[in-house]
Chain A
Amino acid sequence: MVLVLALGDLHIPHRAADLPPKFKSMLVPGKIQHIICTGNLCIKEVQDYLKTLCPDLHITRGEYDEETRYPETKMLTIGQFKLGLCHGHQVIPWGDLDSLAMLQRQLDVDILVTGHTHQFTAYKHEGGVVINPGSATGAYSSITYDVNPSFVLMDIDGLRVVVYVYELIDGEVKVDKIDFKKTATTTHSAH
């Protein structure tokens, strides 16, 4: 029963002022055990705010981050799952599933979380999952201006992960749920 929050691409203060208030009201400390952030926060204050939600915070470097010491990629194990984190601007073409799968194999993780496209996507791919939480503030991206604020909450319970997607569409929070079950074998095999 581990709750993991995945978000990124906030671009505060350059492209957005703050998280949408409806999102902010939902994010209360005490419920979430881990936060993984794809990058582009961009300033330290955002990191501090995220720290107040949960002390276990993992961030990778986005191209606009002002803190230069974040790593490019990060791997962590939560429960039975191995998670990989990367901003995604390094993977070209941006947002391409096959390239991301390559990264996933490289990192040898079950769940890969990347951003940069500011669009939410979630793929089941070769025994693993590739998730893009989108932009939590709805900031415009290099590609498009039409961005809905979104983030992802993962509920990891044993060999099963439930992915809740929270999107702010027309001022209302919409929630969706995706179930992933990991096979008993520890590593995914691309066969």
Chain B
Amino acid sequence: MSKEIVKEEEAPSLSSVVSAENRSLGSLRSVRWRLNLGILPPSPSVDDLRRETADSRRRYAELRRRLLVNPHVPKDGGSNSPDLVMDNPLSQNPDSTWGRFFRNAELEKMVDQDLSRLYPEHGSYFQAPGCQGMLRRILLLWCLRHPESGYRQGMHELLAPLLYVLHVDVERLSEVRKIHEDHFIDKFDGMSFEENDFTYNFDFKKFLDCTEDEFGSQGNAKKVRSLDELDPEIQAIILLTDAYGPEGELGIVLSDKFMEHDAYCMFEALMSGACGSVAMADFFAPFPAAESHSGLPPVIEASSALYHLLSIVDSSMHCHLVELGVEPQYFAIRWLRVLFGREFSLHDLLVVWDEILTADNNPLDKDSGNEESSGFKILNSLRGALITAMAVSMILSRINLKKFIAMAKSLQILALGSKISSSSPTFGVACNRSKSAVSGYTSSSGSVSPKTPLSLVPGSYWEEKWRVLHKAEELRQDSLHKQAPSGKRRWSEKVKLVLSRTESDPSPARAEKYKKGHRSSVRRSLLEDLSQQLGLEEDTETGDCFDASNLEDCHSLEVQVEGQNDTSINSICTAEEKCESGSGTTISEENSIFSDPASSGSSTNDHENDAEKSSVASNLSSDENDDCHQSNREYPPLPVSSPPKDVPLNYPHENESSGHMVSALKERRNLSGRFQWLFKFGWNNVSQEASDKGVINETVKSANRDSQSNTADSSTAGAPRNSSSTIQRDVVDQNVMGTLKNLGQSMLEHIQVLECVFQQDRVQVRDNLSKNNIVDKGQVTAITALKELRKISNLLSEM
């Protein structure tokens, strides 16, 4: 056929166009998603796409015909007088048409309940009767097809964005049609009827002559030079919607007539996982899957995977949540079942789903019989890991969409790595990381410290840390980290939680903060207040980033200022302990108390390190994250104090940077908590950003301190950068001149250490296979940080 001949001739160019299309399908979300979900084959040929589309649509039409019941219509092929005893409206017979009709009506009622409340903010589209009808039918048919799962609330929210992207693409198509009307018309005619219709041919040639362009779709597309960059996409759109291509109208990939069919196919693929590992339908199932190892319903299992990952990333937060008795499924069900549909606005959600769907869903672990390796089914694929990672980053950082996604990606890798270890050991490991002795999560708390009831669980844990910290202090004269955190940790439950939240402040904020100098004076005053009011109780649970950041700053400063001997520290500690009723003050005091006087500078570094870590955890700017990540990872083997050395060394490779991050984060949190009251005190003037940054830095520093005693302190790497910025700010106030000088000295020390570590890390980094790129970046960052640190120390020494 001439058509085919035409196509063959164009085949080479077509394939090039197609490959271009694949690149350019970027803006055609529905096509991209269909590719990702496996509805459309990954083949580059447009023809295949069209054929698949047509097939899937046919399947849906058949399904609809079969399952949607109209009791008035007589049965196909049946006698004209069906058995009325069977088929009357009141028939109790479940097989009767009417019985099915009523069952469908009930299902529809249930579905309608949800649909009427779907996306009211986009009601103009979603609440329109046509759209509602489509959604209702799709959901009804899917539920009829899968009676074992039935309809559950939330399925409609999974379906709505799918329909929306189809709608958007169809609109895009009509736009393109309007703009490129000529192209469209000519293309269709030119391609299909070139040989047959001379009039068309003539017009086409004339058209071509005018445009002095070559024949072919590509040529037409290139007609308008200004649209060059759009051309691949336009070509894609045009080819995909050619009514004369294979399968004719049924094959038009972007078609509003068949939106319902396509949406059904996408929904089905999403729910069933398309033979992948993550099937959304599982999340709605109340019963454990047949091959589940844990015997839990899949969504519960996924929630525990989420906690598992969280424990790696941010184990103090995890401990805190566990202690409070917050089961992950309380919030995770809502996130997982709707793939975060209720957490983001529609357009943000589309971006998030882009990421999720791009992640491959093939099971990574083919050997499903292996108990150990398939600890969490959800982590068995890239997509599942990404979803888990996103859930964790939802907890830790949600300030900015980009950062959220970047953080999720970094955590995804973590999640994939973590699935090797089973859940329980990991928890233990997480706890152990911070201190050498693990008393377990539920271990006795009582004897350890006069903590508030809150810190029951890790009471002994914290005490251990504190003891280790103190032991390490002397050993860590030249170390980068401070010991303050251990004490802090004791109080930290709430604080940590708060801090972790606050830590999620964007690192850029922190960076800026550090660069601003005005904070320093405030901070110093705060520090002084802090020292004066050790016994003050403050409610640390402000959860205010501002406070947290301030606390951080204060903390670092305080550490510098206080440089007290241990005895005073101890007394302060006890005082703090009394005060501790969830207030950050005590913690801050502890921090100051425990901070190594000599390591005031290092505390700065720690802060920065912690900040780095927190930035990693909180998904600050992605590059920073990467840097921190890298630097964190690089530095884990560099324990500041000898005792922690063992721990960090054990961890870096196991848990990548997560361990470091966790420890840093924990420390950070401790610090933030303590400083919160400080901030409340007199911090109001400080800009939010600055305080956030300060807090983060401080937390980093404190975390560094803690981490030094506990775990690998990769934060030090990050710290230098932050500390340098912090230090700049500190320059102003004269009260802390001395502190600054100390800072400078410690900075120099830290720089040296960092450099050593850096070199060490280079070696160590090699072990991290997947992060080579990041490692390099991290190294570069660390080097830059070191330089800044040098400058700062010079400044300080000049003072």
Contacts and interface: CB of A to CB of B under 8 A. Distances in A.
Interface of A: 3, 25-28, 30-31, 153, 155, 157, 162, 164, 166, 173-177
Contacts of A173: 85
Contacts of B91: 26
Given A26-B90, A166-B88, 19 more contacts: A3-B89, A26-B91, A26-B92, A27-B90, A30-B102, A31-B89, A153-B89, A153-B90, A155-B89, A157-B72, A162-B72, A164-B84, A164-B88, A164-B89, A174-B85, A175-B84, A175-B85, A177-B84, A177-B88
Nearest to A173: B85
19 contacts: A3-B89, A26-B90, A28-B90, A31-B90, A31-B102, A153-B88, A153-B89, A155-B89, A157-B72, A162-B72, A164-B84, A164-B88, A166-B88, A173-B85, A175-B84, A175-B85, A175-B88, A177-B84, A177-B88
What's the dominant secondary structure at chain B's contact region?
A: loop
Contacts of B90: 26-28, 31, 153, 164, 166
A25 B89 contact: no
Contacts of A153: 88-90
The 7 A-B pairs with the shortest beta carbon distances in the complex, nearest first, are A175-B84, A26-B90, A175-B88, A164-B88, A175-B85, A177-B84, A3-B89
A176 B92 contact: no
A44 B752 CA distance: 96
A28 B72 CA distance: 21
Contact of B92 (A25, A162, A166, A175): A25
Contacts of A31: 89-90, 102
A176 B72 contact: no
A172 B88 CA distance: 15
B770 to A, nearest CB: 58
Interface string B78-107: 000000110011111000000000100000
A120 to B, nearest CB: 15
Contacts of B102: 30-31
B136 to A, nearest CB: 16
A18 B72 CA distance: 32
A33 to B, nearest CB: 11
A166 to B, nearest CB: 7
B244 to A, nearest CB: 40
Interface in B82-140: 84-85, 88-92, 102
B99 to A, nearest CB: 10
Nearest to A25: B92
Interface in B460-490: none
B236 to A, nearest CB: 45
Nearest to A26: B90
Nearest to A158: B72
A30 B88 CA distance: 15
Nearest to A172: B85
Nearest to B83: A175
Contacts of B89: 3, 31, 153, 155, 164
Nearest to B102: A31
A149 to B, nearest CB: 14
A177 B85 CA distance: 10
A166 B85 CA distance: 9
A182 to B, nearest CB: 15
A30 B72 CA distance: 19
A63 B90 CA distance: 30
A15 to B, nearest CB: 24
